[in-house]
Structure 1
Amino acid sequence: MIAPLKFDIDKLRGRLARIREWLRNHNLSPKILFVVLGFLSTIWFLVRVIPKPSRATYPCMRAAAPFMSGFIVYLLTVAGITVVAGKMKRNLHVRWISTSILIFGVIITAAITPSSTSLTYITDAKFKTGPDDEPNQPFGTAVGAIPGRVVWVWDTLAVNRNCRSYYFNPENYNQEVIGKMFRASVTRLPGKSSVRRSWDIMFRDFNKRKHNVERGYVRGEKIFIKINQTSGRGRLTTAVRAKGNYHYPAQRSGKTRGPYLGTCETAPYIVLEILRQLINEVGINQSDIAVGDPQNPTFGHNYDIWAAEFPDVIYTDRTFGT
C-alpha cells in the first residue's frame, strides 16, 4: 500500500524558503502570478522541447505543462470571446466568462482524472517487478564493436557504502579498484585482451558508423570528454568564481547533511582512468584531449586531481577557454 504524500510548505528550507517568504511578504495579485507563471512556463517549455521533443517527458517539463496549457487556453478563450462580442456588438464580460470557462475546465479535468492518493485505498495493488518484454529481450538494431554487447562491471569495494561526506572525497572511493573495473569493461566490450587494442577497435567502429571510414585514431585528432557539472551552475556563481573559489562548501565535522551533499555527477576517478588509458597506453598526446562541461563551470575537486597528473590536457568550461 502506498502512503499518501504530505507536503508542508512551512518545512521548506534554503532558496525555496526565501521564495516562499518573499511571496508572503509582497502579497502579489493572483492574476499577476498566473500571467507570470504561464508566460515563463510557456517560454521554458518551448525552448526546451522544440529542439528535442523527447524532453517533454522530463519531470520539469511535466511540471511546467499545466501552467503553460492553462495560460494558453485562457488567452485563446479571452481572444475568442472578444471576437464574438465584437461581432455581436454586445458588451460581454470577457474576463469573467474566460475565468469561468477555465475554472470549469479544471473542475472537469480533476473530476475525470484519478487522484494519486486514491491508490492508498487499493489493498490488492500489483506492482511491476520487471520490464514488459521480459529480461534479455533486446530490440532495435545492434551496433558496436561486437554488435549488441553491453558490459556491466560490479565491485562493492569500489566505493564507501557508509559514505557520510561528499562522494568525491578520497575516503569514499578506491581508485585502484575502479581502475581495474574500468579496464575490464574496456577490454570486454570489444573482446580484446589489451587496452590499446580495445580502444583501437572502438575508434574503428566509431569512424565506420559516423564517417564510413575504416580506420582507427589518427595522431593529431582531437578528443573531447564531456562531463556533467550541472550543480556548478548554482554553486559556482559569478561572485564565487571571481574570488577564485571553485570548490564545494566545507562540510561541518560529524554532520551527515550539508549543501549539495546528495548531488551525484562526474567525479574524478572515472575521467582519470580514461585519461590514463588514452594517454599512457594508447599514446594520445595530452594536448589533443579536452575535458569539460560547455554549459557549466568545472569543480576544483575534479580539476585538481586531473591536472596534477595530466597538466597539458585542455580543461574547459563555460567560464574560461582553459
Structure 2
Amino acid sequence: MKSLIQFLKKYRESSVSNPIFGKLIFLSLGIATTVWFLIRVIPKPQRAAYPCMQASAPVMSGFVIYLLTLTGTFKAFRLAQLNFKKARYFYFIAFLVVAFGGSIAFFVQNPENVFANSTPEWIITPNAPVGTSHGINPGRVVWVHNPKAANWNGSTGFWWDDKYNSQPETDKMMNRTLLSLTGEKSLAKAWKALFVSFNQTKKGNAEGYQPNQKIAVKINANNNSAQTNSNEINASPQMTLALLRTMIHDAGIPQKNISVFDASRFITDNIYDKCHAEFPEVIFVDNVGGNGRVKSTYVERAIPYSVDNGKLDQGLATCAVEADYLINVALLKGHVGQGVTLCGKNYYGVTSINSDWRKNAHDNFDQNREGKPKYMTFVDFLGHKDLGGKTMLFLIDGLYGAKLVNGIPAPKWQMAPFNNNWPSSLFASQDGVAIDAVGLDFIRSEWPDALDIKFSDQYLIEAAQANNPPSKAVYDPERDGSKLSSLGVMEHWNNAKDKKYSKNLGKKDGIELIQATIQ
C-alpha cells in the first residue's frame, strides 16, 4: 500500500514533466489495478474493505472513468453519423453535442488530475511521528512474544483455564517486558526506575516507591455480567497474577496497598480465586462488591471534561482518585464504534457508569467517519490527573486478543510471527499514546476489515498534539484552566512484516518498538 501511494506521487511528478510517459504509466497502472482488484475482490467481496484494496479502488475507478469518457465520445460520434444519414437531424445534433463535450473533457483533463484525488485521505502515512515521547527511553514500546504461554484449542473448555495457559511462561513474559522497558538487569531495579522516572516527571522529585503509597491496577473486565466465570474475552487471570507477583516480590509493594479493579464491571472468580489464594491482602474492587470484593464508590464530578460532553458520567472510582499510582492493563481487541479498545478506552471503566452498558452514554468516543478532526473523550482520559496523569505503566494483555469487542477470543492471528495461532503477547510502555499506536497497528494490519477501524487513530493524533490538536479543541479535563501538553508520541509502522517505527529506522524522534521472543 505504501509503495502504491509513493508510486502515485512519483507518477504525478513525472507526468507533469513528460506527458507522453505519464499517459503510458496511467494506462498501465489503470489496467493493472483493475485486474488486481477484480481478481482479489470477486472471490471474496469483504476484501474490498482492506486498506490495500481501498487504496487501489480509486485508481481503478479513475482509470475506468477516463476510459469511459474516451469510448463514450467515439460512440456519440458514431450515433451522430448514423442519425445524419437517416436525416434525423435533432438526434444528430444531440449526439454531436455529446461527442464534442466528451472530446473536450477527454483532451482537457489530464491523467494526473484523475490520480491526484485517487489516494484516499484516510490511508495512513507510515513513519510520520507527531507529539512528544515519554519514558526512561522516550517512546519505547516493548513487545514480548511467547508461543508457550497461550494454547487454547478455540473450542473446548474455558480459554483462561490453567490447562491451556502456562503461569510460568506468562511470568517470564511479564519479567522480560519490565527489564526490556527500563533497560535494567534486575526486576527490583526496573521497578525502582519506573517509580523514579514517574515521580521525576510528575513531581520533579526523583524518588522511588514510598511506604504506604497506594497503587491501583485497572484491568479490562468489560464482558462480564456477574462475578461468575464466563468464556468471553476479558482480563487474563495468568497475566493479572504475573503482574501482582512482580509488584509484591520485586517492587516491594505491600499487598494491602494494591487494588485490582474494574469499577464498572465485575471481578470474576477465575481472577479473584487465583490471585486471592496467593495474595490474600490485595484488594479487589468491582461494581457490586461481596464475595471478598469491595463495592466501588465514586468521587462525584471528578472529571468535568474539556467540553460539555453530553451525558457522560463525571464520577471517578475512589480507589483510583485516592491512589498514588495507576497501572493500566488493557486488552488487544477491536471495538464497534471506536475501532479498537486499548489503554485509552480502558479508563472508561473508572468512571461512574452503569454495569449495564446499554444505559451508558458514549459521547465523542467515535471518530468522525470522514476523518475530520474532532474533540475526542479518550484524550481527556489520557490526560486527566487521576487517570492517564497518574499512570506509571501501560500494559496491553495480548495473550489472546480478539477482532470483536465481545465473545470468545477469535479468530486466531494470521500475521507473522503468530501464523494461525494466538498472539501470546504482552506490550508495555510508559507512553500511553505510543502503546496504543502499536496496538492499533497490530489490530488494523491483522483485520483491516474490522468494524469501524477506519480513522481509528484519530484520538491518538489528538492526544499526541493535545496542546495544539488538529481539532483545535482546548483539552483541559479538570477545567482548572491548565491545558494539556502532548500526551505522547504517535506514528504508524512502516509495514506489518518489518514492524519498524522511526527510532527503529535510526531517526531521532518517534516510537521505538523493542521485540523479544521467549523460546
Q: Report what 1:241 is aligned to.
A: none
Q: Report what 1:311 is aligned to.
A: 280
Higher share in helix: 1
Taking the aligned partners of 1:161 and 1:297, their CA distance within structure 2 comes to 23
How far has the Cα of 1:162 moved from its partner? 2.2
Taking the aligned partners of 2:136 and 2:46, their CA distance within structure 1 comes to 48
Given candidates 198, 218, 221, the residue that maps to 1:226 is 218
Letter in 1 for 2:228: H
How far has the Cα of 1:127 moved from its partner? 11
Given candidates 265, 268, 287, the residue that maps to 1:299 is 268
Letter in 2 for 1:190: T
Q: Report what 1:18 is aligned to.
A: none
- Is structure 2 residue 21 aligned with structure 1 residue 3? no
Taking the aligned partners of 2:267 and 2:124, their CA distance within structure 1 comes to 40
Aligned pairs for 1:270-281 (under 5 A) are: 270-281=239-250
How far has the Cα of 1:308 moved from its partner? 0.4
- Is structure 2 residue 124 aligned with structure 1 residue 155? no
Q: 8 Å contact 2:152–2:159 — kept in the other structure?
A: no
Taking the aligned partners of 1:188 and 1:278, their CA distance within structure 2 comes to 16
Q: SS in structure 1 opposite 2:144?
A: coil
Q: Report what 2:419 is aligned to.
A: none
- Is structure 2 residue 166 aligned with structure 1 residue 197? no
How far has the Cα of 1:208 moved from its partner? 2.1
With over 3 angstroms needed to count, the CA separation of the structure-2 counterparts of 1:154 and 1:138, relative to structure 1, is: farther
Given candidates 169, 174, 198, the residue that maps to 1:182 is 174
Taking the aligned partners of 2:46 and 2:233, their CA distance within structure 1 comes to 28
Question: Deviations along 1:282-311, whole A, 9 cap, x unmatched?
Answer: 211110111111111211111000000000
How far has the Cα of 1:209 moved from its partner? 2.3
Letter in 1 for 2:259: A
Q: Report what 2:163 is aligned to.
A: 171
Q: 8 Å contact 1:224–1:291 — kept in the other structure?
A: yes
Q: Report what 1:139 is aligned to.
A: 130
Q: Report what 1:217 is aligned to.
A: 209
Letter in 1 for 2:201: R
Taking the aligned partners of 1:166 and 1:278, their CA distance within structure 2 comes to 27
Taking the aligned partners of 1:268 and 1:305, their CA distance within structure 2 comes to 7
Moved over 6 A (4+): none
Letter in 2 for 1:181: M
- How many residue pairs were aligned? 177
Question: Deviations along 1:211-249, whole A, 9 cap, x unmatched?
Answer: 2322111011000011111122xx31xxxxxxxxx323x
Letter in 2 for 1:179: D
Taking the aligned partners of 2:287 and 2:153, their CA distance within structure 1 comes to 34
Taking the aligned partners of 2:192 and 2:213, their CA distance within structure 1 comes to 14
Q: Report what 1:267 is aligned to.
A: 236
Q: Report what 2:251 is aligned to.
A: 282
TM value normalised by structure 2: 0.32
Letter in 1 for 2:263: P
Q: Percent identity?
A: 30
Q: SS in structure 1 opposite 2:143?
A: coil
Q: Report what 2:228 is aligned to.
A: 247
Q: Report what 1:47 is aligned to.
A: none
Question: Deviations along 1:127-184, whole A, 9 cap, x unmatched?
Answer: 99xx7333x5543211111111111101111101523232211122111111111111
How far has the Cα of 1:4 moved from its partner? 6.7
Question: Deviations along 1:74-121, whole A, 9 cap, x unmatched?
Answer: xxxxxxxxxxxxxxxxxxxxxxxxxxxxxxxxxxxxxxxxxxxxxxxx
With over 3 angstroms needed to count, the CA separation of the structure-2 counterparts of 1:275 and 1:227, relative to structure 1, is: same
Q: SS in structure 2 opposite 1:225?
A: strand
Q: SS in structure 2 opposite 1:151?
A: strand
With over 3 angstroms needed to count, the CA separation of the structure-2 counterparts of 1:155 and 1:212, relative to structure 1, is: same
Aligned pairs for 1:103-114 (under 5 A) are: none
Higher share in strand: 2
With over 3 angstroms needed to count, the CA separation of the structure-2 counterparts of 1:225 and 1:127, relative to structure 1, is: farther
Letter in 2 for 1:176: P
* Structure with more relative contact order (C-alpha pairs < 8 Å, separation 6 or more): 2
| Gap runs ≥5 in structure 1 | 6-125, 237-245, 249-259
Q: 8 Å contact 1:163–1:172 — kept in the other structure?
A: no
Taking the aligned partners of 1:210 and 1:172, their CA distance within structure 2 comes to 41
Q: 8 Å contact 1:226–1:291 — kept in the other structure?
A: yes
Q: SS in structure 1 opposite 2:267?
A: coil
Letter in 2 for 1:314: I
Q: SS in structure 2 opposite 1:272?
A: helix
Taking the aligned partners of 2:189 and 2:130, their CA distance within structure 1 comes to 29
Letter in 1 for 2:136: A
Letter in 2 for 1:3: P
Q: SS in structure 2 opposite 1:153?
A: strand
Letter in 2 for 1:247: T
Letter in 2 for 1:163: G
| Gap runs ≥5 in structure 2 | 1-40, 48-117, 295-519
Taking the aligned partners of 2:129 and 2:142, their CA distance within structure 1 comes to 14
Q: SS in structure 1 opposite 2:238?
A: helix
Taking the aligned partners of 2:266 and 2:234, their CA distance within structure 1 comes to 13
